[in-house]
Each structure stands twice: as structure tokens, then as C-alpha cells.
Amino acid sequence: MKTYTYTEKKDTRSGFGAGLAELGRTNPNVVALCADLIGSLKMDKFIEENPERFFQIGIAEANMMGIAAGLTIGGKIPFTGTFANFSTGRVYDQIRQSIAYSGKNVKICASHAGLTLGEDGATHQILEDIGLMKMLPGMVVINPCDYNQTKAATMAIAEYDGPVYLRFGRPSVPIFTPADQKFEIGKAIKLTEGSDVTIVATGHLVWEALEASKALHEAGISAEVINIHTIKPLDEKAILDSVAKTRCIVTAEEHNHLGGLGESVARVLAQHNPTPQEFIATNDTFGESGTPAQLMDKYGLNSDAIQNAVKKILKRK
Amino acid sequence: MPNIKELTDLTTQVRRDILRMVHKVNSGHPGGSLGCAEFFVSLYQELMETKDGFDMDGIGEDLFFLSNGHISPVYYSVLARSGYFPVEELNTFRLIDSRLQGHPTTHEGLPGIRIASGSLGQGMSVALGAAQAKKLNNDNHLVYSLHGDGELQEGQNWEAIMYASAKKVDNLISTIDLNQQQIDGSTDDVLPMGSIKAKFEAFGWTVLDIEKGNDIEAILEGMKEAKSLTGQGKPICVLLHTVMGNGVDFMMHTHAWHGKAPNDEQLKEGLSQNPETLGDY
Ligand SMILES: Cc1ncc(C[n+]2csc(CCOP(=O)(O)OP(=O)(O)O)c2C)c(N)n1
Ligand SMILES: [Mg+2]
């Protein structure tokens, strides 16, 4: 079995910051907007190098989305930065009408997604954003898994013409994808070959899925781990090919099971190849304050939970 | 007559609580909390008419809504020390399974809290609804609210500000924590707002300044005047000129401590500037 190791941990939001800075140097049309959270979004480098292409909006996210839409008219490629909650729920209709329906080339870059935001608690921990954004016609939804992949995704979405929701997080997590890996929107990445079960994971749960597959391997269970960094458009072929072999699947995400990756996968399976599925996701609940690790444990979003789900699904095959 | 010495002692204790709470979990927002300590103490100890105990509807008592929910440390400390819940519970701030969430919430049923806040810009609308409910209930008590100055950049505030005067919501006193700081810098660096006073006035509010927003006597005097102006057909706005981080010298006059906890050394220093008065939790 292919195994993954890491020498360094970093936050995915820093990957975004690095990608944005790189875009500042390479793509003169890229502009950035922020609503009083420059430090949290790691946008400092871009701002330092391109002060004229940065717009500090103040604490006014709805205005930010409208201004971003306007900046596209004239060929700019706006990247908006704020927390995931204020990037989606707060401004849903602004995104819906001025960006998605109007077909504007805005990149909505959202940090501190999910429970791992930690101590700030439920007001800031959105677990519904994937659902909100994937329901918008034409919106691309991406949730990369580590620093390198977030950096690559940030650069890739500038090349894509259309609205994108890019979701990343606050805590430091292992860096295990290659720094030079090309990011292809909508193309899943198979991380391990396996024959007993398919585990598809997105964002912070990808590393947990790899940890789980290691432990499962020792217990004699062969897991195929797939990194679904793009939730929409979903790589249906990658999923269908894998379950054709394994005949069962566990989906894993830092999101509500209602509206998340798991439901997108379930739809594909129900339509093409009905397959037993277990969902690693929050169970229709708000989050709360706590350390990221405590919360992921309490809400069942870690390697242990994935292993248990695998054991359960194997009995349902 | 209010006993200023007692209120001052309580404020000092509240500052200690704030510092110790955010230090323990290495997160939370000391800057705005410290800047509003005198205001919360004055509000809960002297200004608001409250009943014993806590019920959600709050009929027959004054109500308070915190819109800038990130300054939960000062809110929790003053609520606890005003008898809403045991002061020992301050120990659980931001810990898993606590009622003292990072931002105030009704979700865990903490007495004293009537609405979740944390996502900025929503509190004035809620306060307006509560004030209108009071009118429907023929309840002559007042509704107070507090808002950050940076928070005023959220457009929803201006919808609420427009509505309040249009609908003559004159049982509402909304206070703005005018510390001139927010996360990315001073409010003037981030998004200069010009004269907030002129804006509220243009929207039909009566506006009062409390220039010494960290002076308990000045707060009591200003807020009593504000109270005397209620019931005259206009909502009341109080511009409370505060110093972010007040009472801990190295935290003052900067945005740096908006959302950063002190380390062990800094905690010691901060506490030494605020000697224990009523006893630590
Ligand atoms: C809708 C929303 N956007 C952004 C944030 C992040 N945030 C928390 S506090 C803050 C600054 C608030 O400034 P101000 O109201 O002046 O409070 P102070 O810093 O003075 O305590 C920001 C941007 C938030 N909590 N809610
Ligand atoms: Mg302020």
C-alpha cells in the first residue's frame, strides 16, 4: 500500500495566501478584496506587493460581493477573502444574483471553514457552506486538503473563467501532497489503491482518511482513498470506477451530512450504481467552542470515526 | 447615590476576569472587552432595571443586547458578578461543553443571554424588534444595545438605523463603542466613516456623546441623560468614546489586542496593574 508521510504542518489558508501572492506576480488582472480580516486570510504578501490591486472593504461582506461582481466588468479577476460563514450564508443573495446568476468571474475564497475554526464557536463555524454553494447553478466548489493543494487550487481557479467557491481552514495540518502537483478542477486524485472499501474525503478529512487506511491495512482491510478536492463538478467517473471494484463507500467531510459531499456522492451512486454508503459528517447540528482536535473527536470527524464507519459498511456489502 | 468606589472595584475585578479568561484558552477578545468594562458595570449595576432571575421574554424589565458579540468576556464577567450564573463558571470560557461559548449564545441556555451574536451587524435589528414588542406589551421598560464602531460598516445597521427613527422606536438606547479600532487597524485606516454623529442625526436619531467612556461617573451621567430623552419619538444613540484595552497599559490605544490573548508574562503584568478586589473566580 502506498503510504504518506509529512515533514511539516501548515494551515491551508497560508496556502491560499501563497497562491494569491504568486498570482499577484503572474496575472495582472487578479485583484483582491477583504472585509477586515487580512491577517486571518494571509493576504498580507499580495497587498504588500500590489497595494493598488487590493481593496479593503471594511466589515461589509455584502458590499464586497457586489464590488467583486462589478470588478469583473472590465476584465478583473476578483478574489474575495473572509471567513467561510461570512463568505456564504451572510451574502447568499448577493452571490446568487450578482455573481452566480450574472455569470461573473469571482473567486470566493473562504477561510476558517468548519469546526476546526475552534474556540470562536458556532457563530463562526459554518457547516452548511458546501451545500449552499453547490446548489447555486454554475458555481464550482473546491475544498483542498493541505497547504500545497490549496496553493495550487488558488492559482488554478484564476485560469478558470467563472464563479468559484474555494473553501479552506484555520488549523495547521500535515502537508502530504507534492508541491508541484498540478491542480485540475473536477479531477479526483486516487491516493491509495484498495479493494475492500472506497473512502472519498475532502478538505481536512483527507489526511484522516489516509491515517484510517493505514490502520485498516494493518487490520487486513484494503481501503482505496480518493481525494475529492472538487465537490462540484464532481468526478463521478472516479467514484463509480472505484465502487465497481470495492462495492461500498465511506464519504468524509467537515460539513453537515445534509447538503455535503456525501449527498452529492449518494446521488451519483443512486442513479448509476446503488452502493452501501456511510457518512462521516456532522449530524444536523451546530458546532461549539473547543480546540479543533476536541471538536473533530466529539463530532466524529477523524481517523477513528472513519475506521468505525468502514467496519460498519463492510458488514453491509 | 451610586457608590463609585464599589463600582470601580468591581470594574477592576472584571478586568482581571477578562484577562484570566482569555489567557487560559489562549483565545478571545480582550481589547474591546477591557474598553467596555466600565460601561457594562454601570449598565448592570446602576442603569438597568432588572428583575431577579432570568426569563427570555424579560417583560417588566430593561433588556440589553450585545451586537459586537466578540467582547463576550466582559459580558460574561459582568453577568456572573451580577448574579446571573456562578462566577466559577467563568473558568469554562471557550472550553468544550461550556455554556460560555466564544460568542454569546442562547443555544446552551446561559442566563442573561437573549440572542446569539458574533456575526457582526445584526444586533440592532434584534433590539428594535424587542423594543417594539415592549410597546405592544405596554411595557415601559427600555432596551439597550451595544455595537462596535467597526461593526457599523455592516449595511444592516443602516437599515436598522433608518427603520428605528421611521418607526419612532423611542424606547431604545443604542450605544456605540467608539474606540476607533477594528481588526486590520484603526477604523480610519480600514474604512473611514466620517462623522458617525452626523450620520445618526441625519437618520433622525438623538445623539449624545460620552467623551470619557472609561469614567464611571461620566458614563452614569451620560446614560441617565440618554434615559431622560427616551419616550420623545426618537431613538437614542450614545457615542461612547473608549480606549481599547483600557486598564492594561500595553494593550491600550492599539488594535493589536483586539483578538489576541496575553501570554503568561503579559498576564502577570496585566493583573499586577489591576489588583484583586472582590476575589478571583
Ligand atoms: C459579519 C462579520 N464579519 C467579520 C467578522 C470578523 N470580525 C470580528 S470582530 C471584527 C472587528 C470589529 O470591529 P469593532 O466593531 O470596532 O470591534 P472592536 O475591534 O473595537 O472590538 C471583525 C471584522 C465578524 N465577526 N462578523
Ligand atoms: Mg472598534
Q: Hey, whose CA ends up nearest to atom 23 of ligand 1?
A: A36
Question: Has residue B281 been placed in a domain?
Answer: no
Residue ranges in chain A modelled with pLDDT below 70: none
**Would you state the pLDDT for residue A100?**
98
Rounded to a whole number of angstroms, the distance from the CA of B63 to the nearest CA of chain A is 22
The number of domains in chain B is: 1
Question: Has residue B187 been placed in a domain?
Answer: yes
Domain CATH number, residue B251: 3.40.50.970
Q: Tell me the C-alpha to C-alpha distance, in Å, between residue B256 and each of A34, A289, B250.
A: 18, 23, 10
Which residue from B174, B188, B223, B263 is spatially nearest to B39, judged by alpha carbons?
A: B223
Which residues' Cβ are closer than 6 Å to ligand 1?
A: A 35-37, 59, 61, 86, 90; B 31-32, 68, 70-71, 118-121, 148-151, 177, 179, 181-183, 244, 258
Question: Has residue B279 been placed in a domain?
Answer: no
Phi and psi for B118 in degrees, rounded to 5?
150, -50
Q: Which domain holds residue B81?
A: 4-272
pLDDT digits (tens, 9 = 90+) for A23-54: 999 999 999 999 999 999 999 999 999 999 99
A101, three cell numbers: 446568476
Which residue from B62, B56, B152 is spatially nearest to B112, judged by alpha carbons?
A: B56
CA pair distance B87, A131, nearest whole angstrom: 40
**Would you state the pLDDT for residue B2?**
86
Angle between helices B216-228 and B4-25 (to 10 degrees): 100
Q: How many CA within 13 A on the CB side of residue B19?
A: 29
**Would you state the pLDDT for residue B166?**
98
Q: Hey, whose CA ends up nearest to atom 19 of ligand 1?
A: B182
Question: Has residue B181 been placed in a domain?
Answer: yes
A189, three cell numbers: 486524485
Given a cut of 80, whether residue B24 has pLDDT beyond it is: yes
Question: Has residue B278 been placed in a domain?
Answer: no
Question: Has residue B280 been placed in a domain?
Answer: no
CA pair distance A87, B20, nearest whole angstrom: 32
Question: Has residue B32 been placed in a domain?
Answer: yes
A33, three cell numbers: 478584496
Phi and psi for B170 in degrees, rounded to 5?
-100, 15
Query: Which DSSP helix (H) or strand (E) runs through B155?
Result: helix B155-166
Q: Tell me the C-alpha to C-alpha distance, in Å, between residue B76 and each of A115, A234, B15, B95.
A: 23, 45, 12, 14
Chain B contacts of A298, Cβ < 8 Å?
Answer: 96
Q: Tell me the C-alpha to C-alpha distance, in Å, between residue A156 and each of A53, A73, A149.
A: 19, 21, 10
- Map out the domains of chain A with their CATH numbers: 9-174 (3.40.50.970), 189-316 (3.40.50.920)
Give the list of residues 6+ apart from residue A98 with CB closer than 8 angstroms, or none.
A65, A66, A69, A104
Q: Is A298 on the interface with B (CB under 8 A)?
A: yes
Rounded to the nearest integer, the mean pLDDT of chain B is 98
**Which mutation among A41, A56, A59 tests ligand 1's pocket best, with the greatest number of atoms within 8 A of CB?**
A59
pLDDT digits (tens, 9 = 90+) for B89-142: 999 999 999 999 999 999 999 999 999 999 999 999 999 999 999 999 999 999
**Would you state the pLDDT for residue A245?**
98
A63–B95 C-beta distance less than 8 A:
no
Q: Is B188 on the interface with A (CB under 8 A)?
A: no
Give ∠ CA A152-A291-A20 in degrees, rounded to 5: 20
pLDDT digits (tens, 9 = 90+) for A283-315: 999 999 999 999 999 999 999 999 999 999 999
CA pair distance A299, A280, nearest whole angstrom: 9
Q: How many CA within 13 A on the CB side of residue B93?
A: 30
pLDDT band at B1 (very low <50, low <70, confident <90, very high): confident
**Would you state the pLDDT for residue A218?**
97
pLDDT digits (tens, 9 = 90+) for B171-197: 999 999 999 999 999 999 999 999 999
The partner residue sitting opposite A123, judged by closest CB among B95, B98, B118, is: B118
Question: Has residue B208 been placed in a domain?
Answer: yes
A60, three cell numbers: 461589509
Q: Give ipTM to 2 decimals.
A: 0.92
